[in-house]
Structure 1
Amino acid sequence: MTINSMTVAAACQTTAYIAGQDGSQPVCFAAVDSSGALIYLYRMDGAPERLINIAIGKAYTAARMGVSTDIFRQRLLKDHLSLADFLDDKFTSLPGGVPLLEGGKLVGAVGVSGRALEEDVALCRQFAEHILVTL
């Protein structure tokens, strides 16, 4: 199974609507396929342009590593590793990237950027859940 842009777009609209209701900072949403290639990007009105690459990087890292970026960050700290050790300049250790797993198989990943890291993680999980319920 793969994720498609229509499913992701609908899930993003739902999550962005919820995020927009609380009056907090606007965010950027990204979704990638299982290889890390971008399939969807949405920047809420007023979200700084710099968030685009951060959201994409979070999704990309989650897809390539197969774990959330907060778990990846914990590994870096625990094992005294740096991002440079992975020889991939697109990696980030910022929390807010979540892999999409269906039946234990990686089908893609999502990333969110624009708020405090804990809020990015929460929104990213909501975004992922909205996608996964349709698979």
Structure 2
Amino acid sequence: MTSIIQTQELSYEAAIKMCVAVTQHAHQLGVSVGVVVVTPAGVELASVRMNNAPLHALSIARKKAYTAASFKIPSFNWQERLKHKPDTMSALLREENFTYLGGGIPIIVEGKLFGSIGVSGATEAQDIECAEHAITEQLNSL
């Protein structure tokens, strides 16, 4: 039995590129957002808040990214999973870094979690679109 576990995570350079990709895509959509990229352990690698983004955008984006990293599924998936479980939803919503709002997407390559991204400040659909755009753009550059 080994006492050491090796992990892999997104580099800070890739996280910064993802933040840029999100902000560029948001600009094309005509919206202002906040974006946070975290490691699989939920440690923040990079974040950006566009001018005119809601003041809460970064803190909500951080919750979205943390939720996606924690459970390895998009934060939006929790809406369906908890639809008929109000007690579980109530308990999870009391957790500091949990949200079921869409815009948190895990970054998974070959079945392994390398981090996650959270976007907030636009509509839920636009937040998801910006996050997915950044992941696709970054993974295509590998």
Q: Give the structure-1-normalised TM-score.
A: 0.89
CA–CA distance in 2 between the matches of 1:115 and 1:122?
10
Task: Say whether residues 1:37 and 2:43 are aligned partners.
Answer: yes
CA–CA distance in 2 between the matches of 1:98 and 1:78?
23
The answer as to whether partners of 1:97 and 1:121 remain within 8 angstroms in 2 is: yes
Alignment of 1:45-84 (within 5 A): 45-80=51-86, 81-84=88-91
2:136 maps to which residue? 129
1:57 deviation in Å? Answer: 0.4
2:97 maps to which residue? 90
1:25 aligned to 9, 31, 48, which one? 31
CA–CA distance in 1 between the matches of 2:90 and 2:71?
12
1:3 maps to which residue? 10
1:87 deviation in Å? Answer: 6.8
The answer as to whether partners of 2:119 and 2:128 remain within 8 angstroms in 1 is: yes
- Cα 1:5–1:97 change in 2 (3 A) is same
The answer as to whether partners of 1:100 and 1:132 remain within 8 angstroms in 2 is: no
CA–CA distance in 1 between the matches of 2:115 and 2:93?
20
Task: Say whether residues 1:110 and 2:117 are aligned partners.
Answer: yes
Q: Give the structure-2-normalised TM-score.
A: 0.85
Structure 2 unaligned residues grouped into runs of 5+: 1-7
Between 95-104 and 67-76, the greater mean CA deviation after superposition: 67-76
Q: CA RMSD in A?
A: 1.8
The answer as to whether partners of 1:97 and 1:112 remain within 8 angstroms in 2 is: yes
Percent of aligned positions with the same letter in both sequences? 28
Post-superposition Cα deviations, 1:62-103, rounded to whole Å, max 9, x if no partner, equal 000110011122111144431514873210010110000011
- Cα 1:77–1:35 change in 2 (3 A) is same
The answer as to whether partners of 1:83 and 1:93 remain within 8 angstroms in 2 is: no
